[in-house]
């Protein structure tokens, strides 16, 4: 697996609290079969979650050295899980917000309870800038749970969707589980990620893969969801959806 969504950058958001926890989580990831991870700390304008790209880069280099010293064999990159904001295009240009591994792909979080009516305009501006929005865990948003077809409004704008595979194992409740199943059956999810925050979170990859395969009924689609599409992010290649 290549994990495109996790909160393992220590001490910068609501994820890993320190280096020891991060290293333990990296070991857990490797044991579970993860080869690459994109560290995606929250970026929420106007809050304490606002680390600049230069700082994220420095922390990532420190973590790479710690991985070498600990003999943990995993490749790490950085990005953001950026909360939707009308200043996102400017925040990317100014070096405040990072795309995924420096690619054209940006992980974007939407409000959980109520739809952002300006999201379409923001996505249009990002696309005009050459940025491809990747909507984080759509199955967790109330308005998409009520109407899963709502995601088509975003995909028609060129957005891609990243589901949390732990939703299928009940981590976020029955509604999120049901919604992700619907989205997977309708082939609108491009990536599956862990969204792991803490050492206590297990990866449960074998169980998750079995559940996903039962839904998508294709080894090729399974591989695309967990690895191949994410590989295209790392290579900054275009991802074509049918």
The domain spans of the chain are 2-217
Q: Is the pTM of this model over 0.75?
A: yes
242 has a pLDDT exceeding 70: no
Residue 7 predicted with pLDDT over 70: yes
Give per-residue pLDDT as tens, 87-98.
999 999 999 999
Number of H helices, E strands in the chain: 10, 9
pLDDT in tens, 16-64: 999 999 999 999 999 999 999 999 999 999 999 999 999 999 999 999 9
Measured distance between the N- and C-terminal CA atoms of the chain, rounded to whole angstroms: 22
Residue 2 host element (H or E): strand 2-6
More confident residue, 44 or 200: 44
Residue 240 is predicted with a pLDDT of 82
pLDDT at 199: 79
CATH code of domain 2-217: 3.20.20.140
Contacts (Cβ under 8 Å, ≥6 apart) of 69: none
């Amino acid at each position: 697996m290549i994990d495109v969504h996790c909160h393992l950058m220590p001490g910068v958001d609501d994820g890993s609290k320190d280096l020891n926890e991060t290293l333990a989580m990296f070991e857990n990831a490797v044991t579970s079969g993860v080869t690459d991870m994109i560290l995606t700390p929250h970026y929420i304008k106007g809050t304490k979650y606002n680390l600049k790209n230069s700082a994220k880069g420095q922390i990532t280099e420190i973590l790479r050295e710690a991985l070498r010293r600990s003999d943990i064999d995993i490749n790490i990159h950085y990005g953001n899980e950026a909360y939707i904001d009308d200043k996102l295009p400017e925040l990317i240009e100014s070096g405040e917000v990072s795309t995924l591994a420096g690619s054209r792909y940006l992980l974007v979080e939407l409000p959980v309870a109520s739809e952002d009516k300006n999201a379409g305009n923001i996505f249009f501006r990002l696309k005009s800038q050459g940025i491809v929005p990747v909507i984080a865990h759509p199955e967790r948003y109330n308005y998409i749970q009520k109407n899963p077809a709502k995601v088509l409004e975003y995909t028609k704008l060129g957005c891609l969707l990243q589901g949390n595979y732990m939703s299928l194992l009940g981590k976020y409740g029955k509604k999120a589980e049901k919604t992700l199943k619907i989205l997977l059956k309708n082939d609108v999810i491009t990536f599956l990620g862990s969204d792991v925050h803490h050492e206590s979170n297990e990866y449960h990859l074998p169980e998750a893969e079995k559940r996903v395969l039962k839904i998508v009924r294709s080894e090729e689609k399974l591989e695309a969801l967990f690895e191949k599409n994410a590989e295209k992010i790392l290579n900054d290649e275009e991802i074509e959806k049918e």
